[in-house]
Amino acid sequence: MRKLAPGTRLVVASHNPGKVWEIHQLIAPYRMAAVSARDLGLPEPEETETTFAGNARLKAVAAASASGLPALADDSGLEVAVLGGAPGIYSARWAGPKKDFSIAMARVKGEIEAAGGWDDKSPPRANFISVLCLAWPDGTAEIFEGRVDGHLVWPPRGGNGFGYDPMFVRDGATETFGEMQPAEKYAISHRTRAFQQFKSAMLDGIEPDAQAEGQGDIAGLAAAAANLSTRAELIRFVANLGEKVENDAGEGAAFAEALRRAAAWLGDDAAEDETRWRLVAKMLLAASGLAARRPDGA
């Protein structure tokens, strides 16, 4: 299998700046940079395939052949067994144009009831899945998949995470993904598993730059910052960032206090606009100084 080399510019075949940023954070220690399909002015192909792998491949191949650079695309979602794998590739679309996942979760609950009822004694089986595709300009491509199996709960619980997290409990756990700390979820998530497959196949033999301690927590915070969409998710993010700053060798007590004030302010005031929430999260992460401690400064 062809490997990626240090110095490679990798196109992230997504127009979602959060995703590009998250992938950049993951590959930067290997001295590679992520550039977005949008920055290169590449068109966003329509996701016309019927599987995660099909859509990831379609996006990666289109970006690699248009740019002449290797390209990475991802597709992820929630699959519910009794719904034949739905919402599946439509996971984001079930939340509607405002990306309101309380609507998407209520639809999952409603469709399970319509398909034979919801029985708390035998809760519906579900899994999260993340599929990555790395394509080369000549059209060859590799697929990497990560999944986490579990069941659904109703009502949703917990304000951490994003998307369908508050209604998903992985096997062997009792907390929902929405109740887990971001670093804890990130450590075992479908996305991390897919990235591990990608890393061991594509980055094998490249030594990462020495990483600062606590990178797991920072990766979890980075993933939350890249994916959050609502004010409630930002409030949890700010609180988690404050805890991380405060626990970090006693440094940053003044900043932790500033974050507590910011979280309180967010709780009382401010209008809803998901793109701005993501920007604010990233700004605070940068201001904390935690992300800048990496040797590459990413």
- Is residue 179 a contact residue for ligand IMP (CB under 6 A)? no
Q: How far is the CB of 173 from ligand IMP (least distance, A)?
A: 14
Q: In one letter, which amino acid is 24?
A: H
Per-position x/- string for 106-135, each x denoting binding to ligand IMP as judged by CB under 6 A, each - no binding: ----------------------x-------
- Looking at 20-28, 60-68, 75-83, 192-200, which segment touches ligand IMP (CB under 6 A)? 75-83
- Is residue 232 a contact residue for ligand IMP (CB under 6 A)? no
Q: Let me know if 75 is a catalytic residue.
A: yes
Taking CB under 6 A as the criterion, the residue among 77, 124, 150, 252 binding ligand IMP is 77
- Is residue 277 a contact residue for ligand IMP (CB under 6 A)? no
Q: Round to whole Å and give the CA distance between 58 and 80.
A: 24
Per-position x/- string for 148-167, each x denoting binding to ligand IMP as judged by CB under 6 A, each - no binding: -------------xxxxx--
Taking CB under 6 A as the criterion, the residue among 76, 127, 160, 181 binding ligand IMP is 76
Catalytic hit among 74, 75, 217, 248 = 75
Q: Round to whole Å and give the CA distance between 236 and 259.
A: 11
Give the C-alpha distances (Å, rounded to integers) separating 113 from 81, 91, 168, 296.
13, 18, 17, 50
Q: Round to whole Å and give the CA distance between 159 and 177.
A: 9
282 Rama sector, left if φ>0, alpha if ψ -120 to 50, beta otherwise: alpha
Per-position x/- string for 83-102, each x denoting binding to ligand IMP as judged by CB under 6 A, each - no binding: --------xx----------
245-274 residues in contact with ligand IMP (CB under 6 A) are none
Which CB sits closer to ligand IMP, 233 or 248?
233
Which CB sits closer to ligand IMP, 32 or 56?
56
Question: Given the rule CB under 6 A, which residues bind ligand IMP?
Answer: 75-78, 91-92, 128, 161-165, 177, 189
Active site residues: 75
